[in-house]
A and B are shown apart, each in its own frame.
Chain A
Amino acid sequence: MEPTLSPAGYAALTILLLPLAAALVIGLCPRRDPERSANLSIGAIALGFILSLGLFFFAGDKAQETNFSWLSVGDLHVSFGLLLDPLSKLMLLVVTGVGLMIHIYSRGYLHGDRSFSRYFASLSLFTFSMLGIVLANNLFMMFVFWELVGVSSYLLIGFWFEKNSAADAAKKAFLTNRVGDFGFILGIILTWAALGSVNFTELASAVELGGRLADKSVGFSLLAEPLGKIAGGTHWWIVHPNVLVTLVGLLLFMGAMGKSAQFPLHVWLPDAMEGPTPVSALIHAATMVAAGVFMLCRIFFLLEIPGSHALEFIAWTGAVTALLAALMALQQNDIKRILAYSTLSQLGYMVMAVGLHAPGPAMFHLTTHAAFKALLFLGAGSVILACHHEQNIWKMGGLRDAMPRTWWTFRWGTLALCGVWPFAGFFSKDAILASALEHNNIPLFVLGVFVAGLTTFYMSRLVLVAFCGNARSEEASHAHESPGVMTWPLVLLAVPTLLAGAIGLDAYIDKVLPSEHPPHNEGFLNNLFAPFNHNILAAGFGLLAVVAGYQLARALYVNADRDRLPEKIGVLAKLARDRFYFDELYEWFISVTQETLARVADWFDRWIIAGLLVRGAHGTTELVGRVLRLVQTGSLQTYAFLFAAGVVLVLAWQLLGKGGGH
């Protein structure tokens, strides 16, 4: 197919390729000048951000697609294509916008690091991969960039690879993601086998067509026919279409489970905090972990095929993740780990929203969360740097006076995360809670409200302990504000943290992910109060949870010098502190399976390969040799006799045998 590129397509391609070019130039240039690499990297993403803004405001809402044929194997046609629709444009804005702030901030945070250039090369490579996921128009291309994101996050988490913990965390993140990706590629193959395409647009129309043809109460019968093809041309393997669509949904969800760190593959995210703090902000708060949710929204039409039960599973996985992560966050003392668990918990919210047939609110929460969580992480980085790389909140305290800018922006981020009106987080969280109510899913609604309360509790604990009260260590008392290159991104991120909720983002998302009750963009002031008009119950309970959480935290942690929570809740606190023993469980499981496998392999190698095959072949040859040596007498006449006897025998056999045959 001849590629035809519209101006918007050119812009998208430029956005995608600029960071790659920056990464290549920095990575391959033999003389690395730190300043120049940083400028190159920042320049690439800044240009991308400007182009994204242009696309967002001026390119129109119609979906535009560009296809370059990439490879064809039999019926499988994979193209390299860019899909520009409101969903990808919004996500472009998030990735380049938040990414730009983080790039700028990194310049200050990593100032003077030995591998400054390598850091920016990896960062640009990551940005390129992430933009690839966002712009991909088919599942295979998405998978390629999905893996690239995995690689670049490995590079960034293990940036300080001299530290063993960082190298281990990088490996853990990579391997845990492999588990999810394994399911993802199986899901892609199954999707292709069942629907004959991997292109999102074609898939959507195939599903729509099938939905029209099939009896919706029975399920999706279009899928039943090509199933024979999977089984090799015969219909010996008949799976109920409902089972098939559920399986497709669940396998694709496994990919999201790995990337978005959903239970039970959540273990890598807290450990990934070993990377530099801006990396945590970019990858583990704003973009990479959002990729899973973004993917679920992209393929949402596959998940909601009538007859599929995948969404119920997705909703409960999200809810369980949200709850477990919030509980684990209660007892963490490392400032970055608290934020990591809160990220997990918020991702759980988003996944739960997708599971509740509400991908719109999920994307909405993703967008606002990207802004305020990046802000929180960058604030934490500023604090960590001020306290000379001290991450324990119990060794901080009293930072509010020393670091006014960080304190103000961090507080705004916290308010947004807790869901306090009128900060952005309130609107997106409320949309999710409201959709739980609309689907009459009371258990999930209660769970969501409870998690909101927990969120407020642990974030208030963090703020009260780290910023208020008196300094608890030498470093904290000498802390001072970070330089402007680090605080300005905080201030810039604080703007969307305050405003993003009410500027009509939800109405914008609704263009591509229509919901049952479309939100209307009625101007900023009306939007501010829309949640209360729309569903007062959800908004009311949400705010109630915030107040309750804050009051509890205030009672426990104002001017506290130690954590009094364990005395109150006992064994639960220990469980939460030890992360519910997931790591230990996995370690045990892996060591047991590995040990068993190693034993079997050892036995096989020792007895079958070395014993039977190698020593057997050698032994048989030697034995036969020893026996046959006896025949070699060295006497010429024996040979002559044996030869003659042989001739006689052959003759007798020939002549007599032939004679007997008649």
Chain B
Amino acid sequence: MNVGLEHYLTVSAMLFCLGLLGVILRRNVLVIYMSLELMLNAANLALVAFSRFNENLTGQMMVFFIITVAAAEVAVGLALIVALYRKRQSAHVEDLTSLKL
């Protein structure tokens, strides 16, 4: 079987949707965070696929940047979550409603 661009894009879309569902439905902040990462990587997959099939490296360049930024983001985000957990003794989004009136 010949693997074409559409196969990669389909996998990427499925990963993205899974990530989105995770973000929307899960209650644990840590899991939501992992779902976010999944969405980022879905985008990465699509970009790499485009790069491969268009035969230029622009897409891969972008992926490197995304990975770098995501790494920094994870560091900051995880630190925030840990701090939050220490303060509230909870990592559930339902408990985090102090912005609501």
Contact = CB atoms under 8 A, between A and B. Distances in A.
B13 to A, nearest CB: 12
Contacts of A633: 100
A440 interface: no
Q: Which 6 A-B pairs have the closest CB atoms?
A: A634-B100, A634-B97, A641-B24, A637-B24, A640-B23, A634-B99
A637 B24 CA distance: 5
25 contacts: A629-B101, A632-B100, A632-B101, A633-B100, A634-B97, A634-B98, A634-B99, A634-B100, A634-B101, A635-B93, A635-B94, A635-B97, A635-B100, A636-B93, A636-B96, A637-B23, A637-B24, A637-B25, A637-B32, A637-B93, A640-B23, A640-B24, A641-B24, A644-B20, A644-B24
Interface of B: 20, 23-25, 32, 93-94, 96-101
A119 B17 CA distance: 96
Contacts of B96: 636
A644 B23 CA distance: 10
Nearest to B25: A637
A593 B81 CA distance: 76
B18 to A, nearest CB: 13
Given A632-B100, A637-B24, A641-B24, 19 more contacts: A629-B101, A632-B101, A633-B100, A634-B97, A634-B98, A634-B99, A634-B100, A634-B101, A635-B93, A635-B94, A635-B97, A635-B100, A636-B93, A636-B96, A637-B23, A640-B23, A640-B24, A644-B20, A644-B24
A644 B96 CA distance: 21
A634 B95 CA distance: 10
A173 B72 CA distance: 88
Nearest to B24: A641
A662 to B, nearest CB: 22
A635 B93 CA distance: 7
Interface of A: 629, 632-637, 640-641, 644
A637 B97 CA distance: 11
B41 to A, nearest CB: 17
B56 to A, nearest CB: 25
A636 B94 CA distance: 9
Nearest to B97: A634
Nearest to B98: A634
Contacts of A632: 100-101
A629 B94 CA distance: 19
Contacts of B97: 634-635
Nearest to B17: A644
A641 B96 CA distance: 17
Contacts of A629: 101
Most buried by A among B24, B32, B98: B24
Contacts of A636: 93, 96
A233 to B, nearest CB: 64
Contacts of B98: 634
A644 B22 CA distance: 13
Contacts of A634: 97-101
B27 to A, nearest CB: 8
A641 B25 CA distance: 9
A287 to B, nearest CB: 78
A632 B93 CA distance: 15
A514 to B, nearest CB: 93
B85 to A, nearest CB: 16
Contacts of B93: 635-637
Contacts of B23: 637, 640
Contacts of B20: 644
A636 B100 CA distance: 10
Contacts of B94: 635
B101 to A, nearest CB: 7
A478 B23 CA distance: 114
Nearest to B23: A640
A82 B96 CA distance: 90
Contacts of A641: 24
A634 B93 CA distance: 10
Nearest to B96: A636
B33 to A, nearest CB: 12
A346 B98 CA distance: 91
Contacts of B100: 632-635
A618 B25 CA distance: 39
A633 B99 CA distance: 9
Contacts of B101: 629, 632, 634
Contacts of A644: 20, 24
A497 B101 CA distance: 95
A640 B20 CA distance: 9
A313 B20 CA distance: 93
A634 to B, nearest CB: 3
A632 B96 CA distance: 14
Nearest to A633: B100
Contacts of B25: 637
Nearest to B26: A637
Query: Most chain-B CB neighbours within 10 Å: which of A632, A633, A637, A644?
Result: A637
A644 B19 CA distance: 12
A634 B101 CA distance: 8
A520 B23 CA distance: 118
Contacts of B32: 637
B23 to A, nearest CB: 5
A635 B27 CA distance: 11
Contacts of A635: 93-94, 97, 100
Nearest to A634: B100
Contacts of A640: 23-24
A249 B72 CA distance: 93
A629 B97 CA distance: 15
A640 B101 CA distance: 19
A641 B32 CA distance: 13
A331 to B, nearest CB: 81
A73 to B, nearest CB: 62
A642 to B, nearest CB: 10
A641 B20 CA distance: 8
A406 to B, nearest CB: 91
A629 B20 CA distance: 26
B100 to A, nearest CB: 3
A646 to B, nearest CB: 13
Nearest to A637: B24
A636 B98 CA distance: 11
A633 B93 CA distance: 12
Nearest to A647: B20
Contacts of B24: 637, 640-641, 644
B15 to A, nearest CB: 15
